[in-house]
Structure 1
Amino acid sequence: MKKILTFISILSAMTSVAQKKSDYPKSYDVVVGTYTSGSSKGISVYRFYTESGKLAYLNQIDDVSNPSYLAVSSDNKFVYAVNENDQGEVSAFHFEPKTGKLDFINKQSTLGGAPCYISVDKRRKNLFIANYAGGNIAVMPLNEDGSIAPAAMTRRDDGHGPNKERQEKAHVHTAVLSPDEKYVLYTDLGTDKINITKYKGGKDNPIVVANPPFVTVKPGDGPRHLAFSNDKKFLYLITEMGSSVVVFDYDNGKLKQRQEITLLPDGFTGQTGAADIHISPNGKFLYASNRGDANDISVFAVNQENGELTFIERNTTGGKGPRNFAIDPTGRFILVANQNSNSIVVFKINPDTGRFLQAVSRAEIGNPVCIKFAPAE
């Protein structure tokens, strides 16, 4: 009887694992934003296969100037892209997941130069755009047909940091919604701040300054990208010039710094430029990319009780300039956009240890700088 019960227990565990695997589609669309100063002409779409990690080209839309950062709507019907130019614009596209086809809808001014980041709320009411050169965040309302309306408001930062070349003024780098979408947080590389605003969602003054309105990091670190923990209790910041990850306790729009940990090995003296940061789907690991002479991705274990990080390993990215990367929804692959070597490299990772295993595929594409997953159907 005991043997029968043991067998049933093992069979149940195997069924549970199988069910978890079957929860994921076998394929996804991968939408890729680029800089169009080289061979790329716009946005490309690939099919990604979750069992093999292979990429297959699907479609592209040309004549889109510098679509350097993308957002896919929660209903999977629309893709929005910043046009990272001096005049600052944002474009809307209808998206057909089965074919990967993108059709242009319209374009609007972001009221600030060099927009470099975009996010969209789940209800598809507003876009939030970080204008790097303009030093401001713009809130852009969305119409029912997916088109973009003129900006409802902008909020500009003032000030500077100690680095006279990089921090001569405000440089807003991200605009991220909190998991409950009650707040919008945006980083300012130029003033070493994370700004915090309440998101009201209406047409008039959709975001208002929170209390406290910001937190600061070490002068000269240059805040860049943000990632929330899966349990929503912690916020992680990657600093571009400091090449570090800063851990914050997060509670209803309030931040308290807990830890700062470097991305660099002891004795490193080369050029750096930390870029992107993501949490694994199971919430156990954090990944952070670094450019310059480093060209690597660091892996950290996430303490599930206090959110603190412990270094695991550092990996080359198979190219140069890993500006952006994405972890596939199954948590078994990581796709790295190597901007300066015109490639996306897919690595298999161990979801139980967080470690890189091996490169499994590669796609040649001009200056890739943003990767977004979308369900294929």
Structure 2
Amino acid sequence: MSPQQIFVGGYDDAIDSFVFDETAGTLIKTHSTLESKPGPSWQHIIPEHRLLLSGCEGPIGGIGYLDSYRFSEDGALTKVDRKECVQGCVSMDMGKNGFLITASYDASGVNTYYIKETGEIVPLQTLLFTLPDGQAGHPDIDPVRQDAAHPHESRIDPTGKFLLIPDLGSDYLRIFEITYGEKGEDSRIKEVEPLVCDTRAGPRHCYFDRTGKFMYLVEELASMVRVYQVEYTGPRGIDFKPIQRISSLGIGKGPADTRVQRLKAAEVAISPDDKHLYISNRYDRSMPDGTDSIAHFLINTDDGTLTFVELTSAGGINPRHIRLSPDGSWICIATQDTNRVAMFKRDLETGTILEEVVAEGQSGQPVCITW
């Protein structure tokens, strides 16, 4: 197989370009740029235009940025444009006609943009959020992590008609209708009634299966995974029926309390055949060598429920991000505190992550992998 290009953003302010050669078993850094500092914590590729978009968190109390780059065959990045966003950009997703939505954790907001084929960024909307009435100072919430609304992800549903924003601070899954204009710059989002999550769940990231029938929500503060059946009915046009809640550490575990322990569930990934789900656990240190874990679950494709299989090593500490290769044969794990990006082989039939690291590269505090 021909070598594959991977981009990694990190809190050392660099976006690193790697080439993964599975035949040779190598992951080689080819280029690096510091033009998205400080904090290039999320990247998104538009392959047909050879564009890479990067969210820059920016300094606390300041502003954030959305950057666009043109990338070459060997991964070199050439800056095209930069526009402001709400400070703390940690995620983005793209709908139709170049319509992009970013989510900003620190300053409690989202931005929408039109991305031209040239890489020019056209700002559209800025929306800011506050905590639900009565939540501020409530004894049942996490006083540190839930001091304000904290949007943690931008996720568009499989129909492209709805935007989901897990709000860790509010214990909400915020929901928006998307209206696409004939011109990209005419597209807009409109908030509808949110999905209220469990108290101190801390919704972080979500993922749909490829049929669009089920949605999996990672609760960071509780370190749980909530499974929903998706139905396109009701007043807001999309509804979520809860069918299961299971610990990110597997069977027999209850909701965590991050006020007294550091365990935090982070990323979710689903295999291309919709049969396996993976969750990265930060600071559980549950492996014999003291590293953190990746949880593996089987997905019942009929009813969407999860069956815990096993925990395997993340190969380091603080696996903030994981990403499967397009064909599902590899899983790439970024361990932020270990400054490491590692490739593990994945058994396509059983879904098992093989323990031996096939290839690894050094990247400063890596937090996002873009394949």
Give the shorter-chain TM-score range: 0.7 to 0.9
Which 5+ residue runs of structure 2 have no aligned equivalent?
Answer: 233-237, 286-291
2:145 is aligned, of 121, 143, 166, to 166
1:45 is aligned, of 8, 11, 17, to 17
1:119 is aligned, of 68, 83, 93, to 93
Partner-residue secondary structure (3-state), 2:48: coil
Show the counterpart of 2:84.
109
- Is 1:303 paired with 2:300? yes
Partner-residue secondary structure (3-state), 1:75: helix
* Cα 1:205/1:330, change in 2 over 3 Å: closer
Counting only pairs closer than 5 Å after superposition, residues 130-141 of structure 1 correspond to structure 2 as 130-141=103-114
1:286 is aligned, of 269, 273, 277, to 277
Counting only pairs closer than 5 Å after superposition, residues 1-377 of structure 1 correspond to structure 2 as 26-36=2-12, 41-51=13-23, 54-65=26-37, 66-85=39-58, 86=60, 87-96=63-72, 98-110=73-85, 112-123=86-97, 125-159=98-132, 160=135, 162-202=141-181, 203-204=185-186, 206-210=188-192, 213-252=193-232, 253-264=238-249, 266=252, 270-294=261-285, 295-357=292-354, 358-373=356-371
1:283 maps to a residue whose letter is: D
Percent identity of equivalent pairs: 28
Is the CA contact (8 Å cut-off) linking 2:35 and 2:79 kept in structure 1? no
Partner-residue secondary structure (3-state), 1:241: coil
Cα distance in structure 1, aligned partners of 2:274 and 2:24: 23
The Cα of 1:322 is off from its aligned counterpart by: 0.2
Cα distance in structure 2, aligned partners of 1:264 and 1:299: 9
1:276 maps to a residue whose letter is: E
Which 5+ residue runs of structure 1 have no aligned equivalent?
Answer: 1-24
The Cα of 1:53 is off from its aligned counterpart by: 5.1
The Cα of 1:157 is off from its aligned counterpart by: 4.1
The Cα of 1:180 is off from its aligned counterpart by: 2.0
Greater shift, 249-258 or 231-240, is seen at 249-258
Is the CA contact (8 Å cut-off) linking 2:36 and 2:56 kept in structure 1? yes
| TM-score, normalised by the number of residues in structure 2 | 0.87
CA-to-aligned-CA distance 1:199-227 (integer Å, 9 cap, x gap): 112345601134xx211221001000111
The Cα of 1:143 is off from its aligned counterpart by: 2.7
Cα distance in structure 1, aligned partners of 2:20 and 2:49: 16
CA-to-aligned-CA distance 1:207-263 (integer Å, 9 cap, x gap): 1134xx211221001000111102111111111111011111112332111111101
Is the CA contact (8 Å cut-off) linking 1:302 and 1:309 kept in structure 2? yes
Is the CA contact (8 Å cut-off) linking 2:101 and 2:111 kept in structure 1? yes
Show the counterpart of 1:5.
none
* Cα 1:53/1:219, change in 2 over 3 Å: farther
1:281 maps to a residue whose letter is: P
1:195 maps to a residue whose letter is: R
Q: Which has the higher contact order (CA 8 A, sep 6+)?
A: 1
1:119 maps to a residue whose letter is: D
* Cα 1:243/1:76, change in 2 over 3 Å: farther
Is the CA contact (8 Å cut-off) linking 1:53 and 1:333 kept in structure 2? no
Cα distance in structure 2, aligned partners of 1:336 and 1:364: 12
CA-to-aligned-CA distance 1:315-348 (integer Å, 9 cap, x gap): 1111111000111112111110000010011111
* Cα 1:281/1:247, change in 2 over 3 Å: same
Greater shift, 244-253 or 362-371, is seen at 244-253
* Cα 1:180/1:26, change in 2 over 3 Å: farther
Which entry has the higher C-alpha Rg, 1 or 2? 1
Is the CA contact (8 Å cut-off) linking 1:247 and 1:307 kept in structure 2? yes
Is the CA contact (8 Å cut-off) linking 1:270 and 1:293 kept in structure 2? no
CA-to-aligned-CA distance 1:103-145 (integer Å, 9 cap, x gap): 11111111x221111122253x222111101211111222341
* Cα 1:75/1:194, change in 2 over 3 Å: same
Cα distance in structure 1, aligned partners of 2:342 and 2:28: 13
2:65 maps to a residue whose letter is: E
CA-to-aligned-CA distance 1:269-289 (integer Å, 9 cap, x gap): 852111100101121100000
CA RMSD of aligned residues (A): 1.9
Is the CA contact (8 Å cut-off) linking 1:53 and 1:348 kept in structure 2? no
Cα distance in structure 2, aligned partners of 1:145 and 1:52: 35
